[in-house]
């Protein structure tokens, strides 16, 4: 996204992608209204909507004491009153193909960064291993947008201080039938917890487990896991046998952090490189896109003038830190409520009365939904 936004301003951009293609198993494919607004401003919303997708306007939680409405985007007066779920590889490919139309944009696939070029205490590019051997790219600014295990971040010495994670999530997918309901929900029962979200042709399931508990799940066996999923969500009882092997299960270790400093001379970190999010509520992509738009707005003219200063990158971090921390705090509270029943097997989940009351009042429920979608204020493209 940042590469596209800068290329549109006639700023030379080289995008290094470590993989040879985008066709791999992404889990982050929840696109919030804020990102849809950005795509609308870019004139790409029709192309995005041509990608097979599902639209979710309501999110519910099913508990032993009844169903709770967590979110209802149809209540908001916004251009796109829904969350869109679409494959992230298709989304990225669309952005890259659009960026290729600009003469100042270049993408190198299968290029893995293995060093920073430094001169007089300033990073001025990267060294990489590519499909045709080693190479280097010199630049006035190197942006690390390479995720929670960022190589650029490590090379720049900006590693985060990690908090002790509290749980892991097992991801899997099951077939989706035409007769299935079109809804996203979190199911809490005395048999466990399951997040359920619809993709165009499959259901994506998230099965939280205590931190480090995967070995115990493996020890119990795949059949026990299948029975547990079916017990939580009887809708899937007739298809849990589709989980035929442990390779159909992906383990995601939840780790959230926000770097104390997102930048160094010649280097800027955005997205998960700067602030990894919990997958709860699916806000990661949206915050990353908002980072990219903010960086483009602030740095565009500075890059043209070859005058990017540390104060400019500090401004990006300053504008983005509060929305990130607010959402991380919201995620941590929800995560705590999920973890408590997991740590004591057989203990029924118990959502606090105050939380039930909060979500039962629509205008109160709208507040975290707006912050989750747009931050404290919407981010728009300036150029």
Output the domain CATH number for residue 187: 3.30.9
- Are 133 and 246 within one domain? no
Percentage of the chain lying above the pLDDT 90 cut: 60
- Are 207 and 276 within one domain? no
Q: How far apart are CA 116 and CA 94, in angstroms?
A: 29
Closest CA to 143 of 121, 126, 167: 126
pLDDT at 43 over 60: yes
- Are 276 and 355 within one domain? yes
With H, G, I as helix, E, B as strand and everything else as coil, classify residue 109. strand
- Are 97 and 201 within one domain? no
Give the pLDDT of residue 100.
97
Alpha helices in the chain (DSSP H): 2-7, 33-41, 45-49, 88-99, 151-155, 214-220, 222-232, 284-304, 310-343, 353-360, 362-374
pLDDT at 255 over 90: no
Structural domain includes residue 379: no
Structural domain includes residue 208: yes
**Pick from 253, 276, 300: which residue ends a domain?**
253
- Are 120 and 135 within one domain? yes
- Are 273 and 346 within one domain? yes
Predicted confidence band of residue 144 (pLDDT cuts 50, 70, 90): very high
Most confident of 80-84, 299-303, 361-365, 372-376: 299-303
- Are 126 and 194 within one domain? no
Least confidently predicted of 6-10, 279-283, 368-372:
279-283
**Pick from 253, 280, 306: which residue ends a domain?**
253
Alpha-carbon dihedral sign for residues 322, 324, 329, 333: positive
**Six-digit token string for 26:** 């992404």
Provide the CATH number for the domain around residue 43.
3.50.50.60
- Are 106 and 235 within one domain? no
Torsion on CA atoms 36, 40, 46, 50, rounded to nearest 10: -20
Structural domain includes residue 270: yes
Structural domain includes residue 381: no
**Pick from 207, 236, 253: which residue ends a domain?**
253
Query: What residues make up the domain containing 203?
Result: 167-253
Mean pLDDT score of the chain: 89
The pTM of this model reads: 0.90
- Are 135 and 220 within one domain? no
Interacting residues of 46 by C-beta distance below 8 A, sequence separation 6+: none
pLDDT per residue over 260-308, tens digit each? Answer: 999 999 999 999 999 988 777 667 889 999 999 999 999 999 999 999 9
Number of domains in the chain: 2
Whole-number Cα distances in Å, 279 to 183, 221, 242, 254: 18, 25, 24, 7
Q: Which helix (H) or strand (E) holds 175?
A: strand 167-175
Structural domain includes residue 382: no
- Are 281 and 214 within one domain? no
- Are 141 and 237 within one domain? no
Structural domain includes residue 152: yes
- Are 75 and 184 within one domain? no
Structural domain includes residue 87: yes
Structural domain includes residue 277: yes
Give the pLDDT of residue 31.
92
State the maximum Cα–Cα separation within the chain, in Å, rounded to a whole number.
64
């Amino acid at each position: 996204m940042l590469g596209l936004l800068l290329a549109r301003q006639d700023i030379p951009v080289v995008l290094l992608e470590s993989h040879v293609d985008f066709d791999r198993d992404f889990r982050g494919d929840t696109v919030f209204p804020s990102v849809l607004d950005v795509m609308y401003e870019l004139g790409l919303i029709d192309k995005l909507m041509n990608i097979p997708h599902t639209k979710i306007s309501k999110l519910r939680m099913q508990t032993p004491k009844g169903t709770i409405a967590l979110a209802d985007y149809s209540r908001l007066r916004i251009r796109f009153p829904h969350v869109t779920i679409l494959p992230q590889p298709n989304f990225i490919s669309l952005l890259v193909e659009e960026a290729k139309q600009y003469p100042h944009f270049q993408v190198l696939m299968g290029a893995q960064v293995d060093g920073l070029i430094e001169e007089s205490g300033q990073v001025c590019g990267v060294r990489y291993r590519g499909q045709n051997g080693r190479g280097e790219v010199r630049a006035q600014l190197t942006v690390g947008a390479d995720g929670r295990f960022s190589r650029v971040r490590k090379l720049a010495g900006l590693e985060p201080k990690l908090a002790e994670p509290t749980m892991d999530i097992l991801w899997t997918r099951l077939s989706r039938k035409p007769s299935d309901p079109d809804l996203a929900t979190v199911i809490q029962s005395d048999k466990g917890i399951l997040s359920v979200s619809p993709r165009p042709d499959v259901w994506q399931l998230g099965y939280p487990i205590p931190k480090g508990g995967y070995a115990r799940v493996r020890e119990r066996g795949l059949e026990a896991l299948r029975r547990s999923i079916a017990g939580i969500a009887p809708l899937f009882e007739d298809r849990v046998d589709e989980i035929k092997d442990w390779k159909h299960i992906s383990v995601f270790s939840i780790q959230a952090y926000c770097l104390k400093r997102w930048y160094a001379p010649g280097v800027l970190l955005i997205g998960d490189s700067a602030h990894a999010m919990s997958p709860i509520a699916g806000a990661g992509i949206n915050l990353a896109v908002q980072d990219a738009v903010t960086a483009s707005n602030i740095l565009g003219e500075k890059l043209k003038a070859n005058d990017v200063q540390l104060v400019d990158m500090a401004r990006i971090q300053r504008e983005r830190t509060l929305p990130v921390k607010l959402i991380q705090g919201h995620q941590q509270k929800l995560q705590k409520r999920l973890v408590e029943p997991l740590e004591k097997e057989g203990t029924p989940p118990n959502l606090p009365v105050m939380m039930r009351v909060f979500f039962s009042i629509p205008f109160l429920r709208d507040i975290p939904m707006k912050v989750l979608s747009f931050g404290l204020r919407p981010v728009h493209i300036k150029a």
